[in-house]
Structure 1
């Protein structure tokens, strides 16, 4: 299902989106549910209406856009995300980030000389949502 003729993909559950709600609120959040009539239920993380943050709102497919996925690559961001993966007990995400960090460490760079060791592993759950850059 396409949103319109510019070949954008329709959002799926778990996708990060931005758009305008039925109440004309500008928001950023992630898709919780999609109904057959073209309405999307979104959990709001940022909004021009402060009371909507932390709640779910509805928007039409045609009034939302998927946000581009963000692939972090700098060492400090990877370490911060690894901390978040530990807190959420997301082993798969932690392992993915640890592999990226190991690849970054193996690249020759003067900024990597202050490295502080190798991360460990832990038990956890599966990842539910893709990470995206919401700094616009």
Structure 2
């Protein structure tokens, strides 16, 4: 998929294959429209050495991951930790609202 056809933006979760063939999952750190490339912060890979690194990937090598609804409190708490680590305030606010809905539903 193409970055610009998918309207990807900084912070979106993506997957792809690196130049060396490693499967990576991560989020977009920056986008360079003139080079049709993005920097991806790798959070999961079949090559453990890639985890925690930031790699450049060309437009055609990146695929946006679908949004998933999380219903389990433990999963949401883990995602809140990740939002704090990545300093993604909008995602943090969204997750804390979702956590409150799950907790209210559990009590109600």
Which of 20, 23, 27 in structure 1 is aligned with 2:24? 27
Mapped to 2, the partners of 1:20 and 1:71 lie a distance apart of 25
Report which of the two structures shows the higher radius of gyration computed on alpha carbons: 1
Corresponding residue number in structure 2 for 1:41: 39
> Which structure 1 segments of 5+ residues have no match?
107-136
Q: Distance in 1 between matches of 2:37 and 2:80?
A: 35
SS at match of 1:44: strand
In structure 2, what is the equivalent of residue 73 of structure 1?
71
SS at match of 1:23: coil
Aligned to 1:98: 100
Check if 1:17 corresponds to 2:8.
no
Secondary structure of the corresponding residue to residue 63 of structure 2: strand
Gaps of at least 5 residues in structure 2 are none
Note if contact 1:82-1:98 (Cα within 8 Å) is conserved in structure 2: no
The Cα RMSD (Å) is 3.1
* 1:3–1:62 contact (8 Å) kept in structure 2: yes
How far, CA to CA, are the matches of 1:34 and 1:14 in structure 2? Answer: 10
Compared CA separation, residues 73 and 34, structure 1 to 2 (3 A): same
Task: State the alpha-carbon separation in 1 of the partners of residues 73 and 44 from structure 2.
Answer: 26
User: How many aligned positions are there?
Assistant: 100
Q: Which structure dedicates a bigger proportion of its chain to strand?
A: 2
Within 2, Cα distance between the matches of 1:39 and 1:52?
18
Q: CA deviation at 1:95?
A: 3.6
